[in-house]
Structure 1
Amino acid sequence: MTRNVLLLSIFAILGYGFWISPDFKTIAAGVAIFLLGMLSLEKGFKSFSGGVLANFLQRTTDATWKSLTFGMVATSLMQSSSLVSVLTISFLSAGLIPLAQGIGIIFGANLGTTTGAWLVAGLGLKVDIAAYALPMLVFGVIMTFQKNSKHFTAAGWALIGMGFLFLGIAYMKDGFEAVSTGLDLSQYAVPGFRGLLIYAAIGIAMTVVMQSSHATLILTITALAAGQVSYENALALGIGSNVGTTFTAILGAISAGVAGRQLALAHLFFNLTTGAIAIVFIGQFVVAVDWLSELVGIAADDYTLKFAVFHTLFNVVGVVLMVPIINPMVTVLQKLLREKVEPVETTRVRYLSKAALEFPDTALEVIAKETVHLANNAFEILAHGLNLHRTDITSSADINAMIAECTDVMAVDVNDKYQRKVKPLYSAIMEYSTRAEQAMDSEQLERLIHLRRASWQIVNTIKAMNELQINIDRFMCAENEYVRREYNTIRLNLALLLRTLFDTDSEESILRIPEQLKTFRAMMEEEDIIANGTLDQLIRKNHITPDMATSLMNDSGFAYDIQSNLIDASEILFANFYSTEKDMALTDAEADTAQAEQREALLAEAGDKDS
């Protein structure tokens, strides 16, 4: 309801402006074209930068200065700090980067927004950029029709975006110049500290409505160049645009996890603090701007370039003041916003965030991580179904000796645990993947299909264990040594496979997993008691009863299904992580290292080795 009222109010204001001033239409059209350019530019970057950008981000944000540089460069190229903020929130929610590096990227993005001010003040107002815009649009449209090349199409959208940006700036410039001949908006200037607060609030409102600090900056600079706003009030509008841009990050964090909300809060704190510093010390900033402008040869009356200097200066000051307290800020944010303790009844998702849906490759990453979360929950159920604790399996103890001991039955309700700890996650993965597939290309869809299959196979292991557990509890301590031996062999084989998959304490153990899975697959065929004649011999020699033989025949099939599904799911997950590394064009040595790091991180869920 509130949103509808706001939208109607905006329409009413625009309608009134169109009625009283034909030149207002030119300015409004310029803003609209500029925003359309930003949307096109974002579409281009989203289309071809998803996986490459995600991998590049992970490899270049291991230090604060690298995070700052990434945020600044990415924002300068995309001309959208909002896109960088949402992208960072999605990566952070997916666990691809730590909070400290995410905060560094946001700080860098604030520095990157200053390039837009320099672009317009230094070039847009002094050159007929509309002349460059039209060829960009023509070539960009032609490139978007090349459907056989994803990157070519994406580059076309980026070119269209730049063309619209330039065209929008030209329209705003012309509109304000036309207005200045018949209307002097500068008469509404408010001097002093009161004017700073009023115009800062206006800057915040403009940025929230347009969802773009760049659009507010460009509008401010073109109005300043036409003399429609005073220099002091323009500075306040610039401060307000910085604070207002956090609104987009907050919206993006609403549907994200706790880490995403922590980042949005850090973004808000940074912009509010730097804005407050700029307002309180506005006099000192103006003096510093005058000194720097004179130093670099900017004319005393070139207020548009001086505005760009001011915007850069107060953002640099904010970064310099905030960077040393990033780690304490992380500590405070993690205490202030903590992960909720999972309820006993059900297990909630950890990684599936709405923000990640914006970027298909990132969505695939979070689905893969949630599938590992699903596998870890399944591990607990499978271990207990074998009448073992997870610590028994992941320790270095002799599993054969533990299985040989006749312990009390754990009496675990496998179906109940499935309903509480597996089914909710599986349902969430399926629902999320259905939403994610709408923006995916054929290659991404193929990876998604494999991840869905891995989740389905993990679920099937639990269903098979639900059937198998009944007779494990019945025969693992049976007086008949032959049936006891066969059921404990089933337990041993499954426990060894689980140890291989979930005992991932070292890089060496992770790198051995693919070869070990091949060995297990071969052993499955060799130890098939029906195919190798073992069951037939037990029956012929009357070592087991017909009832035992029937149970053993069925349960051997369930055990085979569990092993087969676990191996297939594991191979899919490892293949998914490896396909990401191939996009990076690493050397063999780098690929091995990266592969181990990715697997260790994504299998960290298995590190909770409680019983």
Structure 2
Amino acid sequence: MNIAISLIGGLGLFLYGMSLMGEGLQKSAGDKLKRIIELLTSNIIMGVLVGTVVTAIIQSSSATTVMVVGFVNAGLMGLSQAIGVIMGANIGTTVTAQLVSFNLEGLAPITLGIGIVLYLFSSKPKVKNIAEILLGFGILFTGMEFMKDAVNPLAEYKGFTDALISFGQRPILGLLLGLVITAIVQSSSASMGMLIALAAQGLIPLSSALPILYGQNIGTCVTSLISSIGANRNAKRAAIMHLLFNIIGTMIFLLFLNKPVVSIVTKINPNDVARQLANTHTLFNIISVIILLPFAKYIVKIAMRIIPEGADEKENETFLDERILETPSIAFGNTIKETLKMADLSKDCLNTSLNSFFKKDSKEAQNALEMETKVKELQKSISNYLLKLSKTSITKESIDDIDNLFNTINDIERIGAHSENIAEISIESIDKKVEMSDEGTREINQMYEKVKENCESIIKLIETKDSDIARKIIKTEEEVNKIEKSIRVNHIYRLNNNECNIDSGILYLDLITNLERISDHCSNIAKRIYN
């Protein structure tokens, strides 16, 4: 019982240390990580490199593949790109195994001490990020030492050592054990750490450890498979490709490459089973990528066969995927894209409602009302996503950006709400058969063109944060205010001279009020970004 408690405690420290170190590396990388992923092209080699680098940074192939599922689900990545990143993620995850296979426990107290001092006595975000990396490193190796100490007494239990040795003669059982342990722990690096702890204490020979190692590579696919539940078909295919790649790689090694690889790693480190395991893990993933890379398109085709095309294949997907919250900088970028969709929809809502008014088309008015409903739905989903994003590991600057985006989507929703008001004015004017004077119609058109120009500029502004566009919007808003005042004066003159009736006058004033407020909200967004 004491052994189990110590092992679980060590595993907990290992996982926490790995997570903390990954978060620190990720924060340090910041926008660089985003730019790394943006390097993705149809070039599969670039995908492999990106997958390797990103996984080495965030210290988890499971997190990378879950992210890939999220990207595919959001339509940001095709399957041909995804397969490259998945292959690269398998290589990147070997970094952790290489680290823990070295006897670096002596460095743990030093890195912990330096990390704690930096974290407590520095207020600079960059220094705190470095402190987190050092703390994570120290906790990870402290956890590794705990696991080694926990399993050390097991050497006295002959039944246990015999059971481990038997996996060399029964590789399928070892394969299943590695698969199950990794599926439970949800981290191939953690299960690999436990295996290296056993090897370091001389409890398991290389021949028995290898089937377990291969099983761990299959077990790590469970996370991405679970992640794909509820996602679209392409995201499910991405998870299936991850599974296919690891199963095929395992079969190749078990049947053909096991002996040559064992020969190589034992020559490099003849008396160190822990290093032999880490090197086998690295070689397994690198060689699997080299062998299977030319057949990547066939893996994609098999996944397409397993998950065939359906009627919902081209359904409109959201950029907001919780899997991508693992990398906040990218998640925030996707939130901007979703906000652009919302802004574009609110602009269309305005145009449709005004078209309805000018053409006396009630069907167009109904379309505008439906658009506004979708705008509200987008506001709700973006707000919820931003709330979750604000609870992740983000910088103070990112918190300010999130706060600004909260206000921006609220302004966009108000643009949609005022457009909805215009659609309702249009319906009322159609029902009451209200006619506008030619002069009144011309004035509304003049004001509408300026407001429409601002709505279009807002989309460009959110995307580029160009201060010139912001200044232009603010200037146009001033022009809209002047036009509104002029229209009100002209309207009073027409009323006094019986050139328009009261019913049309009320609707007319409501219409220009809503147009002016739409322009106000555009100006709010511009001032927020400009300042």
TM range (shorter): 0.7 to 0.9
Aligned-residue offset at 1:274: 1.4
Q: Does 1:557 align with 2:513?
A: yes
Residue 424 (1) aligns with residue 377 (2) = yes
Of 312, 334, 340 in structure 2, the residue corresponding to residue 366 of structure 1 is 334
Distance in 2, matches of 1:230 and 1:85, equals 31
Question: CA separation in 2, counterparts of 1:433 and 1:177?
Answer: 47
Q: Is the 8 A contact 1:41 1:158 kept in 2?
A: yes
| Candidates 181, 202, 206, aligned match of 1:231 | 206
Match of 2:397 in 1: 443
Alignment counterpart, residue 307 of structure 1, candidates 265, 277, 302: 277
- Counterpart of 1:148 in 2: which secondary structure? coil
Per-residue CA deviations over 1:161-185 (Å, capped at 9, x if unaligned) read 1112222333444454544356463
Q: Is the 8 A contact 2:22 2:57 kept in 1?
A: no
C-alpha contact 2:372 2:420 (8 A) present in aligned 1: no
Q: How far off is 1:34 after superposition?
A: 2.0
Task: Say if 1:388 and 1:469 are closer, same or farther in 2 by CA, change over 3 A.
Answer: closer
Go from structure 1 to structure 2 and tell me whether the alpha carbon gap of 1:437 and 1:337 turns closer, same or farther (over 3 Å shift): farther
Query: Aligned partners of 1:192, 1:360: CA distance in 2, in Å?
Result: 42
Provide the rounded CA distance (Å) in 2 between the counterparts of 1:50 and 1:257.
29
Unmatched runs of 5 consecutive residues or more in structure 2? none
Between stretches 104-113 and 413-422, larger displacement belongs to 413-422
Report the Cα distance in structure 2 between the residues aligned to 1:337 and 1:519, rounded to whole angstroms.
Answer: 53
1:167 to 142, 161, 180: 142
Q: Which structure 2 residues correspond to residues 475-514 of structure 1 after superposition, within 5 A?
A: 478=435, 480-497=437-454, 514=470
Counterpart residue identity of residue 45, structure 1: L
Alpha carbons 1:262, 1:337 under 8 Å: kept: no
CA positional deviation for 1:433: 2.6
Whether 2:24 is the aligned partner of 1:44: answer yes
2:493 maps to 1:545: no
CA–CA separation in structure 2 for the residues paired with 1:185 and 1:342: 51
Pairs within 5 Å for 1:131-170 = 131-146=106-121, 148-170=123-145
Query: CA deviation digits over 1:188-208, x for unaligned, max 9?
Result: 256588611100111111212
Matched, 1:386 2:339: no
Alignment partners' CA distance in 1, 2:379 and 2:40? 33
- Rounded Cα–Cα distance in structure 1 between residues aligned with 2:378 and 2:91: 40
Could you tell me which residue of structure 2 aligns to residue 203 of structure 1? 178
**Of 439, 456, 459, which residue of structure 1 is paired with 2:413?**
459
Q: 1:326 to 1:541 in 2, by over 3 A?
A: farther
Q: Deviations over 1:461-506 (max 9, x none)?
A: 23222332355564999473223333443454445555666799xx
Deviates more, 1:456-465 or 1:329-338: 329-338
Task: Measure, in 2, the Cα distance between the counterparts of 1:229 and 1:49.
Answer: 38
Q: What secondary structure, in the 3-state scheme, does the structure 2 residue paired with 1:528 have?
A: helix
Secondary structure, counterpart of 2:484 in structure 1: coil
CA separation of 1:416/1:371 partners in 2, compared to 1, >3 Å: closer, same or farther? same
Deviations 1:78-129 (A, max 9, x none): 44323333444455555555544343222112112333443344x32xxxx2
* 1:387/1:410 contact within 8 Å kept: no
> In the TM superposition, what are the counterparts of 1:186-265 in structure 2 within 5 Å?
186-189=161-164, 195-254=170-229, 260-265=235-240
SS in 1 for 2:386: helix
Kept in 1, the 8 Å contact 2:25–2:57? The answer is no
In the other structure, the counterpart of 2:490 is 534
Tell me if structure 2 keeps the 8 A contact 1:176–1:226: yes
Using the size of structure 1 for normalisation, the TM-score is 0.73
Aligned to 1:321: 291
Q: Deviations over 1:436-471 (max 9, x none)?
A: 333355432322222222222222223222332355
C-alpha distance after superposition, 1:33-87 (max 9, x if no partner): 3223223223423544444422332246674333322332343454432333344
When normalised by structure 2's length, the TM-score is: 0.83
Establish whether residue 521 from structure 1 lines up as the match of residue 477 from structure 2: yes
Instruction: Supply the distance in 2 between the matched residues of 1:104 and 1:551 (Cα, whole angstroms).
Output: 59
The letter of the residue matching 1:81 is S
Which residue, out of 110, 115, 120, partners 2:90? Answer: 110
CA contact (8 A) 2:18 2:140 kept: yes
The CA distance in 2 between the partners of 1:146 and 1:63, in whole Å, is 45
Alignment counterpart, residue 248 of structure 2, candidates 270, 273, 279: 273
Secondary structure of the structure 1 residue equivalent to 2:170: helix
Corresponding position: 1:85 with 2:69? no
The 1:72–1:468 alpha-carbon spacing in structure 2 relative to 1, beyond 3 Å, is closer
Alignment of 1:387-406 (within 5 A): 387=355
Q: How does 1:566-577 map to 2 (within 5 A)?
A: 566=522, 568-569=524-525, 575=529
Q: Equivalents in 2 of 1:260, 1:465: separation in Å?
A: 36
Q: Relative to structure 2, which stretch is displaced further, 238-247 or 176-185?
A: 176-185
2:40 touches 2:81 (CA, 8 Å); kept in 1? no
- 1:258, 1:571 → 2: CA distance? 42
Matched residues in 2 for 1:130 and 1:368: separation?
Answer: 43
Q: Report the AA paired with residue 198 of structure 1.
A: L
Instruction: Assess if the C-alpha contact under 8 Å between 1:184 and 1:228 holds in 2.
Output: no
Cα-Cα RMSD: 4.0
Amino acid aligned to 1:227: G
Bigger drift between 233-242 and 421-430 goes to 421-430
My pick for the range that moved more, 324-333 or 438-447, is: 324-333
Q: Secondary structure at the match of 1:543?
A: coil
**C-alpha distance in structure 2 between counterparts of 1:496 and 1:438, whole Å:** 36
AA paired with 1:380?
D
Cα pair 2:349 2:420 within 8 Å, conserved: no
C-alpha contact (below 8 Å) 2:108/2:141 kept by paired residues: yes
SS of the residue aligned with 2:400?
A: helix
Deviations 1:260-312 (CA, angstroms, capped at 9, x unpaired): 4443222222112212222233xx4313441x347xx5265654444334323
Unaligned residue ranges in structure 1 (runs of 5+): 1-14, 390-402, 580-611
Per-residue CA deviation, residues 387-439 of structure 1 (Å, 9 max, x unaligned), is 269xxxxxxxxxxxxx7xx6756452267415642222222223333333333
For 1:561 and 1:407, the matched residues in 2 are separated by 23
Letter in 1 for 2:206: Y
What secondary structure, in the 3-state scheme, does the structure 2 residue paired with 1:145 have?
A: helix
Does 2:306 align with 1:352? no
Q: Quick check: 2:94–2:281 contact (8 Å CA) kept in 1?
A: yes
The one-letter code matched in structure 1 to 2:346 is: A
Cα separation, partners in 2 of 1:480 and 1:274, compared to 1, 3 Å:
same
Output the CA distance in 1 between the equivalents of 2:49 and 2:460: 38
**Which letter does structure 2 place at the counterpart of 1:58?**
E
* Alignment CA distance shift 1:489-1:223 (3 Å): same
